[in-house]
């Protein structure tokens, strides 16, 4: 595997040449410091670009072309990493060595057409496409409510960080009405002009050919810089934990707990916290799994997730409503255990082994590999080899120390009214 | 050990069958870090009526017992939980139960031999006590309730419940809370002893390993055990072609209404290889309702659909049930359009040829990822009794327009089940 980074000023091209895979993956990321007001229009843009292009003016024609390219897969993704919003387009194609010569160039051109030759008339997005996508967008915004696990996490984050970026939704209904064909196109031009662009290509491909095709077609020509820091920093801990219970017709109550992390060192952020989260709420050996599920039979799933760029730790579980106090008490007890250093050597070893195994798996998956290079670019994280070396340095003492910098902030419960009712 | 070259995709498949009937399928990939190993019994939620091994009388056990058994296999006599063992060697461990099989797996990059021995060993030695069976009920209850909040599961489970009269596909894999509350350790032992016999099981190994080492380890593990095959007698049911209930409306606390359609297609009188038949049927539904169909374009434009429908299927030896899941603002109008499309299927044969040409695409993608490949091999064995890439390839090549047209004429697409989930009216 050979990684090369080509800085063309207005965009960076990252090529990971490897013979490991039979497919070629391409991810294009547009990145900027984001505001909450901008979420809806950014999501709208992600959908409209994949609805039609100048060359393929309907979604059906665009989809047929993807099929002709041997079932090329392409999808947009709207992500947020810390203070930055990432609009990305992810493409996976079968390497032409297994299909027909010429397919690689055609597939790259297909992607570049979608990004840079949109279906635009008189400086406005095509009306028909616009109206179709507008309805899709509204459905997708409403959909957040229909996935109860995710919904509970978003609701917890909204309670934790009312005005901030933590609860990042796909969009807001009240903002949809302000978007029209013309201002959406203006926003598109602004993205092209000012977003930082990273293009990743991974597979058994010709580096020079790839550079040539992309350079020829890409109309980017402004040099860009993002000044705002990427990582979200919390000012201070809440004095009293915020507790919120909301009633909806769910069959299983969802409990989500948010913790804030303040003043961590670089080593703590990169290495101690992943181990902390693994021991606390990772795989089957973790403290929460052992006590909440295996000893007390309170839940089927309970886990914790550490989000680096947000400096938060989220714990989620599905429980019976009446077990809420008991479960919360148990989570607190395990946090106390971490703080007191009631951690065994085996737990630390297991957590490190899990971390190493996850990182070795990354190298077997194209998308995960690209994401790793992205985090190296964005967050200045170490490469996989260094990570596997450094993780071994984490000690029980480190874990005890970092526990003091973690505080429970918000506890959220989504519950139904008739928990004990049997059908 | 048989070595089978898969020339068109430059891979090799290794196959072995032991004296006790256990089959081993292996696809080594030298350039990856990990090995993915699954140990599967051809026993799932639908096998709830059978004659226990070495007995004469048939029994019926509660729904959800195969899944319960899967949970309980993680309980070991010596107290060392497989989750703890695999964590200590940095491997991932899991298990899953579906309608037709139960699989146990691990995935890791080191300690392959020990991990494999451990897998065969823990799945080979159950440890049921009244106490540990009771303890599991609370955990599984929460698992079932979790699925009750996921509308896709609610749609699929209700479609099957309303499509089948007698066939056990009628019931969800995990059973209901009432079902699992009645399960005893004696019933678990009975199912275990019948279905966890090596002749009803197989191993699939994908990733970076030496096939000979796997065979040696497995043979050693079984050397001191019984060497003969066992015959499992399942009780089969006669399932009518009709559906049970045509329309069901469920209210959930959701924002956008969801619609599920199940089409129950009788296949007993269709003289065609079952594998090929399944491919044709899915191709038909893709042509009629998929992302490149005229139907989807029209429905999208008329504000009846946002995304293309999600299409999935299950089959028995008598029926294929194809399920279409989607969101819609106007279920009545969409339902009529779907019925029209099924009653009078218009196929664009340019589309047929295009889709046929690229059917090998997903096959190649499968080999990209050792987990997907492993699951794919399991599904092939469970569905069609074997995994044979070269056969699949020639099967895909042999698809043709005439055969397809003739088949469509024979298919009865009239038996339809509809499930609507609508937002609670407050």
Q: How far off is chain B from A70, nearest CA to CA, in Å?
A: 5
Name the residue with tokens 């070629």. Answer: A24
Domain assignment of residue A400, given as a range? 242-415
Same domain, B226 and B251: no
Torsion of CA B403, B406, B408, B412, to 10 degrees: -130
How far apart CA B223 and CA B227 sit, in angstroms, is: 8
Domain presence at residue B322? yes
Same domain, A248 and A394: yes
Q: Which residues of A touch B108 (CB under 8 A)?
A: 357
Kindly state the tokens that stand for A415: 């519950």
Among candidate residues B192, B48, B194, B36, the one with its CA nearest the CA of residue B123: B192
Same domain, B117 and B71: yes
Q: What is the pLDDT of residue A219?
A: 86
The answer to whether the CB atoms of B145 and A68 lie below 8 A apart is no
Count of domains for chain A? 2
Domain presence at residue A422? no
pLDDT top residue among A199 and B227: A199
Q: Helix, strand, or coil here: B361?
A: helix
Domain presence at residue B379? no
Q: How far off is chain B from A74, nearest CA to CA, in Å?
A: 13
Closest chain B residue to the Cα of A59, Cα to Cα? B297
The answer to whether the CB atoms of A297 and B138 lie below 8 A apart is yes
Contacts of B37 (CB under 8 A, 6+ apart): B105, B106, B107, B112, B115, B116, B119, B203, B204, B205, B374
Which 3-state string (H, E, C) describes A392-422? HHCCHHHHHHHHCCEEEEEEEEEECCCCCCC
Same domain, B203 and B147: yes
Same domain, B75 and B122: yes
How many CB pairs below 8 A link A and B? 160
Same domain, B327 and B204: no
Same domain, A190 and A67: yes
Q: How far off is chain A from B252, nearest CA to CA, in Å?
A: 7
Same domain, B255 and B183: no
Q: Which residues pair with A314 in a beta bridge?
A: A258, A305
The answer to whether the CB atoms of A300 and B91 lie below 8 A apart is no
Q: What is the pLDDT of residue B426?
A: 66
Distance of CA B208 to the CA centre of its chain: 26
Q: Which residues of A touch B71 (CB under 8 A)?
A: none
Same domain, B36 and B71: yes
CATH number (domain holding residue A363): 3.30.830.10
Domain presence at residue B176? yes
Backbone angles phi, psi at A12, to 5 degrees: -115, 140
For residue A45, name the pLDDT band (cuts at 50, 70, 90): very high
Task: Tell me the DSSP string of B332-367.
Answer: HHHHHHHHHHHHS----HHHHHHHHHTTHHHHHHHT
Q: What is the pLDDT of residue A423?
A: 33
CB B36 within 8 A of CB B205: yes
Q: Which residues pair with A66 in a beta bridge?
A: none
**Looking at the predicted structure, is the pLDDT value of residue A419 above 90?**
no
| Residue B70 bears catalytic tag | yes
Domain presence at residue B372? no
Mean pLDDT score across all residues of chain A: 94
Same domain, A345 and A306: yes
**Looking at the predicted structure, is the pLDDT value of residue A311 above 80?**
yes
Domain presence at residue A315? yes
The answer to whether the CB atoms of A297 and B177 lie below 8 A apart is no
Over chain B (426 residues), what is each successive 10-residue block's mean pLDDT? 94 95 96 96 97 92 97 86 92 97 96 97 94 94 92 96 97 96 96 95 98 97 82 92 97 91 97 97 97 95 93 97 95 95 91 91 90 97 95 94 96 97 85
Domain presence at residue A229? no
Same domain, B229 and B279: no
Same domain, A107 and A189: yes
pLDDT digits (tens, 9 = 90+) for A74-102: 999 999 999 999 999 999 999 999 999 99
Among residues B16, B23, B70, B314, which one is catalytic? B70
Task: Tell me the DSSP string of B200-219.
Answer: GEEEEEEES--HHHHHHHHH
Closest chain A residue to the Cα of B178, Cα to Cα? A422
Which among B199, B234, B269 is the end of a domain? Answer: B234
pLDDT digits (tens, 9 = 90+) for A98-114: 999 999 999 999 999 99
Domain presence at residue B242? no
Q: Helix, strand, or coil here: A71?
A: coil
Same domain, A161 and A62: yes
The answer to whether the CB atoms of A142 and B255 lie below 8 A apart is yes
Same domain, B283 and B221: no
Same domain, B166 and B265: no
Same domain, A73 and A210: yes
Q: What is the pLDDT of residue B62?
A: 97
Same domain, B230 and B251: no
Q: What is the pLDDT of residue A422?
A: 37
Count of domains for chain B? 2
CATH number (domain holding residue B219): 3.30.830.10
Same domain, B166 and B268: no
pLDDT digits (tens, 9 = 90+) for A384-405: 999 999 999 999 999 999 999 9
**Looking at the predicted structure, is the pLDDT value of residue A161 above 60?**
yes
For residue A224, name the pLDDT band (cuts at 50, 70, 90): confident
The answer to whether the CB atoms of A98 and B31 lie below 8 A apart is no
Domain assignment of residue B195, given as a range? 2-234
Domain presence at residue B239? no
Same domain, A271 and A200: no
> From the list A58, A70, A293, which residue is nearest B361 (CB)?
A70
CA geometry: angle at B259 spanning B328 and B142, to 5°? Answer: 125
Which among B234, B264, B288 is the end of a domain? Answer: B234
Same domain, A10 and A82: yes
Domain presence at residue A237? no
Q: How far off is chain A from B15, nearest CA to CA, in Å?
A: 23
Q: Counting beta carbons within 10 angstroms of the beta carbon of residue A5, is it exposed (0 to 12), middle (13 to 18) or buried (19 or more)?
A: middle
Which among B234, B269, B294 is the end of a domain? Answer: B234
CB A278 within 8 A of CB A321: no
Domain presence at residue A298? yes
Q: Helix, strand, or coil here: B343?
A: helix
């Amino acid at each position: 595997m050979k990684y090369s980074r080509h800085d063309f000023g207005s965009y960076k091209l990252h090529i990971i040449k490897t013979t490991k895979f039979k497919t070629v993956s391409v991810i294009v990321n547009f990145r900027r410091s984001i505001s909450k007001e901008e979420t809806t229009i950014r999501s709208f843009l992600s959908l409209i670009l994949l609805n039609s292009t100048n060359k393929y003016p309907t979604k059906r024609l665009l989809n047929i072309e993807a099929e002709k390219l041997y079932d090329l897969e392409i999808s947009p993704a709207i992500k947020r990493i810390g203070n930055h919003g990432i609009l990305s387009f992810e493409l996976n194609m079968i390497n032409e060595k297994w299909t027909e010569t010429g397919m690689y160039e055609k597939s790259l051109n297909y992607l570049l057409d979608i990004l840079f030759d949109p279906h635009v008339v008189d400086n406005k997005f095509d009306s028909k496409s616009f109206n179709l996508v507008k309805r899709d967008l509204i459905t997708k915004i409403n959909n957040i409510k229909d996935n109860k696990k995710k919904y509970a996490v978003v609701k917890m984050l909204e309670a934790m960080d009312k005005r901030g970026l933590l609860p990042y939704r796909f969009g807001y209904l009240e903002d949809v009405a302000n978007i029209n064909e013309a201002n959406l196109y203006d926003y598109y031009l602004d993205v092209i002009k000012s977003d930082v662009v990273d293009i990743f290509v991974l597979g058994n491909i010709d580096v020079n050919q790839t550079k040539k095709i992309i350079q020829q077609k890409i109309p980017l020509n402004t040099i860009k810089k993002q000044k705002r820091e990427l990582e979200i920093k919390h000012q201070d801990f809440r004095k009293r934990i915020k507790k919120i219970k909301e009633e909806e017709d769910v069959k299983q109550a969802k409990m989500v707990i948010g913790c804030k992390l303040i003043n961590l060192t670089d080593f703590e952020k990169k290495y101690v916290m992943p181990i902390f989260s693994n021991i606390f709420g990772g795989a089957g050996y973790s403290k929460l799994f052992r006590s909440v599920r295996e000893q007390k039979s309170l839940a089927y799933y309970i886990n914790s997730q550490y989000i680096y760029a947000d400096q938060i730790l989220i714990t989620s579980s599905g429980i019976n409503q009446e077990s809420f106090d008991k479960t919360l008490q148990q989570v607190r007890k395990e946090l106390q255990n971490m703080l007191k250093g009631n951690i065994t050597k085996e737990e630390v070893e297991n957590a490190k082994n899990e971390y190493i195994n996850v990182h070795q798996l990354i190298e077997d998956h194209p998308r995960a590999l690209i994401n790793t290079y992205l985090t190296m670019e964005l967050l200045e994280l170490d490469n996989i080899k260094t990570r596997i070396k450094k993780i071994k340095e984490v000690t029980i003492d480190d874990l005890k120390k970092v526990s003091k910098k973690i505080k429970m902030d918000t506890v959220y419960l989504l519950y139904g009214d008739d928990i004990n009712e049997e059908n | 050990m048989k070595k089978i070259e898969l020339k068109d995709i430059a891979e090799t498949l290794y196959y072995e069958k032991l004296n006790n009937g256990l089959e081993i399928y292996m696809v080594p990939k030298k350039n990856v870090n990990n090995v993915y190993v699954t140990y599967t019994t051809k026993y799932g939620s639908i096998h709830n009526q059978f004659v226990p091994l070495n007995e004469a009388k048939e029994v019926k056990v509660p729904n959800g017992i195969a899944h319960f058994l899967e949970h309980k296999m993680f309980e070991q006599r010596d107290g060392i939980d497989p989750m703890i063992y695999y964590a200590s060697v940095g491997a991932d461990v899991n298990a899953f139960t579906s309608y037709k099989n139960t699989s146990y797996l691990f995935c890791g990059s080191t300690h392959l031999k020990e991990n494999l021995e451990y897998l065969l060993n823990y799945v080979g030695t159950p440890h049921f006590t009244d106490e540990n069976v009771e303890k599991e009920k609370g955990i599984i209850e929460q698992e079932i309730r979790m699925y009750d909040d996921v509308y896709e599961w609610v749609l699929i489970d209700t479609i099957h419940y309303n499509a089948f009269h007698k066939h056990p596909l009628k019931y969800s894999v995990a059973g209901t809370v009432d079902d699992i509350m009645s399960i005893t350790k004696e019933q678990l032992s009975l199912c275990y002893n019948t279905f966890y016999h090596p002749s009803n099981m197989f191993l699939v190994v994908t990733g970076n390993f030496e096939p000979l080492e796997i065979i040696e380890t497995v043979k050693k593990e079984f050397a001191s055990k019984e060497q003969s095959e066992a015959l499992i007698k399942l009780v089969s049911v006669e399932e009518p072609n009709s559906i049970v209930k045509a329309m069901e409306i469920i209210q959930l606390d959701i924002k956008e209404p969801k619609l599920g359609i199940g089409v129950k297609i009788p296949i007993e009188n269709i003289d065609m290889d079952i594998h090929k038949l399944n491919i044709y049927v899915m191709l038909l539904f893709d042509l009629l309702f998929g992302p490149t169909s005229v139907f989807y374009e029209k429905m999208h434009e008329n504000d009846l659909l946002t995304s293309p429908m999600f299409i999935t299927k299950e089959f028995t030896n008598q029926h294929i049930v194809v399920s279409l899941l989607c969101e819609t603002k106007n279920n009545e109008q969409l339902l009529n359009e779907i019925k029209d499309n099924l009653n009078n299927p218009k196929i664009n044969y340019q589309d047929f040829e295009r889709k046929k040409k690229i059917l090998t695409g997903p096959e190649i993608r499968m080999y990209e990822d050792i987990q997907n490949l492993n699951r794919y091999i399991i599904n092939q064995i469970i569905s069609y009794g074997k995994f044979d890439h070269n056969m699949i390839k020639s099967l895909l090549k042999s698809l043709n327009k005439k055969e397809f047209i003739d088949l469509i004429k024979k298919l009865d697409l009239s038996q339809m089940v509809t499930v609507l989930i609508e937002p609670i009216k407050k």
